[in-house]
Amino acid sequence: MARLRDVPKAPGPARTALLGPEELTAEQAELHATIAHGPRAEQTSVPLIDCEGRLLGPFALMLLAPAVGAAVQQVGAVLRTRTELSPRSRELAILTVAAHRRSRFEWEAHQGAALEAGLEVAQLQQILDGVIPDDLSEEDRCVVSTANELLTQGSLGDADYESALRILGEKRLAELIWLVGYYSMLAVALATLRPESS
């Protein structure tokens, strides 16, 4: 499988310990239960907890400020389950963010879902290398190029906006923009707070 093998697992030693269920405040425990046993638990492609019941990756970091973490995880749940983006488009966008931000956790958490959505290992490697695969549909190429421009420019130029609007429509374009921002936020949190890995 395509991996971020040229990037260290974290940019330095862990800064944030994983919290066991017995260590949580009431507010943290409520958020932990929402993530570990709610609708996210049905999505087996993204690791949520370790064998000790501790939340992993960005989910562990959501416990640090549980009121914010609850809102963040809710946005993520909506972006993963209640948008009009196809699973394939969604995973392409997520992996484009992971490759751009060099986020090993997000890459490894989503590459399986991308393969399940019909993408091929060679296509994933091209995304990882910053190349838009030639054999994508017009819609998928639009998703990757739009995500790339958002990540590198912080916006879309007029021509690219009009093209994305024509291909995706207003609602799916808005969903894509929110998704790129959400996964960028997770990547920044992971790189900065550096949760332990189990």
Dump pLDDT digits (tens) for 21-56: 999 999 999 999 999 988 777 776 778 999 999 999
**Exposure pattern of 3-12 as b/e (b: 16+ CB <10 Å)?**
ebeeeeebee
pLDDT, mean over the chain = 92
Same domain, 96 and 125: yes
Which of 81, 109, 129 corresponds to the end of one domain?
Answer: 81
Give the residue from 25, 153, 136 showing the smallest Cα distance to 91.
136
Mean pLDDT, residues 75-97: 95
Structural domain contains residue 156: yes
**CATH of residue 92:** 1.20.1290.10
Mean pLDDT, residues 118-123: 94
Mean pLDDT, residues 127-134: 93
> According to the model, what pLDDT value does residue 12 have?
80
* Nearest-angstrom CA–CA distance, 90 and 114: 9
Residue with tokens 């969903």: 175
> According to the model, what pLDDT value does residue 166 have?
98
Predicted TM-score (pTM) of this structure: 0.93
Structural domain contains residue 104: yes
Residues spanned by the domain of 66: 24-81
> According to the model, what pLDDT value does residue 46 have?
75
Same domain, 61 and 150: no
> According to the model, what pLDDT value does residue 122 have?
92
Torsion angle in degrees (nearest 10) through CA of 63, 66, 70, 75: -70
What band does 1 get if pLDDT is binned at 50, 70 and 90?
low
Same domain, 122 and 172: yes
Same domain, 145 and 120: yes
Structural domain contains residue 146: yes
> According to the model, what pLDDT value does residue 137 have?
96
* Nearest-angstrom CA–CA distance, 32 and 9: 24
